[in-house]
Structure formats: structure tokens, C-alpha cells
Chain A
Amino acid sequence: MSITAVEPWVEIPLRKFVEEARTVLGLLLHPSGQVVAQFGFARAVDVMSACALAAAIHASAGELGKQLEGKPFRGLHHPGRDRQLYLAEAATPRGTFIFLTVFDQESSLGLVRLYFDEFCKSLAAAAPPAPRRVEPVIEERFEQELNRNLAALFGRG
């Protein structure tokens, strides 16, 4: 299973989870909807859509929980006909992440939950301190490239 990780430290815990829990799709993301790591997706743009929806489910379930029970709902399980979805929070020293995984008959909710707990522990243990960016990421004169790319995007090139 191919794993793509924006933050390299999440790769080993995620790989272990994938191998043990035998899930088919997975996403680790920031609560704002930005992807941190994924496996099983074919297109990057599909990952972004899935992240936006997962962040929305998490945020709305959290808010609903607060209004109903005074505390956010932390996990969600949706049993589909062929595939099931599990979404939960993973707390680390680098902040809280959202984890979404999809599994079929090769796995089970119990198995996913069991390995998710282990995944959370290994993720928290692997998390390095947050780096502080001091250097510029892109060149100072990026406008020309931006304008060229946007013009091409809008067919004005």
C-alpha cells in the first residue's frame, strides 16, 4: 500500500496501522481540512475533497456533541453495505489531527478501533516539536510565475 505523507514522522505509525488493521483508504488531516498523510487514493484532488468533507463531519459532529452533551463527539462509525467508515481524533504534541479510514470485509470495526488506539499512541510518540519557519519558502519575485499559471488556468495564456 502506497502512503503519501506531508509530514514524514507520521509515515511509520500509519504504515503499521494500514498493515495491521487492513483498511483500504485512510486520511490523516488537520482540523482545518489540510491533508497530512493518505493511503489508497488515486488523485491528489480527490484527497483534498475527502479532507474537506472529513473536516466538516468532524467539526459538525463536535459542535453537535457540545450542544447535546456539553462535549464534542470524538468518533464516528458509518456501516455501509460493502465498506465502512471510521472517523476519529488523534491527539499529539503537534496538535490534534483527524483520522478517517475506510475498510471492507477484510477488517472489522473492532480491529480498526483496536489498532487506531495503538496508532494514536505511536503517532503521539513519533511527533517531533513543531518547527518554526524563519526562512522564506518561495522566492520574493514569484508574481510573474503566479500570473503565468493563473492565466494558463483561465485559458488566458
Chain B
Amino acid sequence: MSLVNYATREITCKIVYYGPGRSGKTTNLHYIYGQVPEDRKGKMVSLATQTDRTLFFDFLPLDLGTISGFTTKFQLYTVPGQVYYQTTRKLVLQGADGVVFVADSQARQLEENIESFQDLHANLAEQGIDARAVPLVIQYNKQDLPRDLILTPAELNDALNFRGVPEFGADALHGPGVFETLRSISELVLKRLSQPVK
């Protein structure tokens, strides 16, 4: 749940980038890190293996500026995508206010995408969270690869986006789609704070 400090008028939200191994979660954070001015970001922390695969998580704190008089801070996390890091994925997902699912658009990765998406839902359910209630955005990364290697966003939607959540094609390495994804998940997360709790 977003942390709201009424005394200092600060909001802190946790956003987790989820998805199969090598889909581009860390690349999203690296791109964001490279774009944001020094005074608006903290150190990017990466707990990675010797081959640069995410071992525990990547973490990037961002100062989003003032919204409705509240200083708004986002904590961006990635999870390790490899199947065998199931336990760490659960730990990082704990307390997430929103999730970005980064899918690999390559046709040969479709099964991994579906498996990881199911894993996300199972892990949310295990924490007693209704997956339908969690702000979620899907990013179809690597849309810059040759057409014959990838699936289109429409084809990927058929396989993954049964909730009809916002989706974006992206090339996280060079930037297209990264900003739009972050903007969309930020909006969904903050929207929850703009509505009365029933």
C-alpha cells in the first residue's frame, strides 16, 4: 500500500517490474536512470550475478515531484526472471502498489511470457492480493527486432492481456515505450489515492 505521510506531505509508492528472464526489466530501469537528472534520483542498486543477470532485484528511487501538494516518490524494483528465483520474486513483490509486466515480444518466448504471467498471479494470490485489483500495465518489449522474429502487440494481447489493462510496445534499450509505460503505471497507482476508499 502506498505510504502517505500527512505531516511531511509525502507519498511513497512501490512499483515492481515483473516478467520472464531477459525480457528487459533491468533495461527499463537503466533507461529511466539515464534519463532522470541527478537531483531527482538515488543510486541504482543492482544485486546481480557475475553474468549480470538479476539475482535479487534492481532498485531505483525516483523523486517524481509534487502532486496535489504531496512530494511523490516512486521506488522502482525489478524481480529476477529466471524460473528458479521464485522465492526472491515473492519477496520483492511484497507490498507492491503497482506492477509492470515486461513481456519479451519474440515469438519463441511466448511460453515463458505466459508462464511468468501465471507466476505473477499465483504469487499475488499467495499474498492474499486479488490480482484484478492491482494496478497493472503490460509492456511488449523488443518490438524493434525483425518482424519475422516477434509477435505483434495484438497477438501478444490475445495471449496475455485478458484483463484488458493498458499495454505498450517498447524498445527498452533505446527508449521507445519506456516513458509511456512508467507514465501509465504511475497514473493507475496514483488514481487509487485520488478515490475514496469504500
0 or 1 for each of B80-108: is its CB under 8 Å from A? (1 = yes): 00000001100110111000000000000
- Residues on A with C-beta less than 8 A from B92 are 56
B66 adjacent to chain A (CB < 8 Å): yes
Shortest Cβ distance from B86 into chain A, in angstroms? Answer: 11
Asked, given contacts A32-B95, A48-B61, whether A146 binds B10 with beta carbons under 8 Å apart, the answer is no
Asked if B142 lies at the interface with its beta carbon under 8 angstroms from chain A, I say no
- A44 proximity list for chain B (CB < 8 A): 42, 63, 73
Cβ-based interface call for B5 (8 A)? yes
- Which bucket holds chain A's interface residue count? 35 or more
Q: Does B8 touch A at the CB level, under 8 Å?
A: yes
Q: What is the CA–CA distance of A52 and B79 in the complex, to the nearest angstrom?
A: 13
Contact at B42–A145, with CB atoms within 8 Å? no
Of the candidate stretches B21-29, B132-140, B163-171, B189-197, the one touching chain A is B189-197
The one of B37, B70, B91 in contact with A138, judged by C-beta atoms closer than 8 angstroms, is B70
- Residues of A within 8 Å of B18, CB to CB, are none
Q: Given A6-B3, A138-B70, A154-B179, list of 9 further CB < 8 A pairs?
A: A45-B42, A48-B75, A52-B57, A53-B45, A139-B194, A142-B190, A145-B65, A145-B66, A145-B68
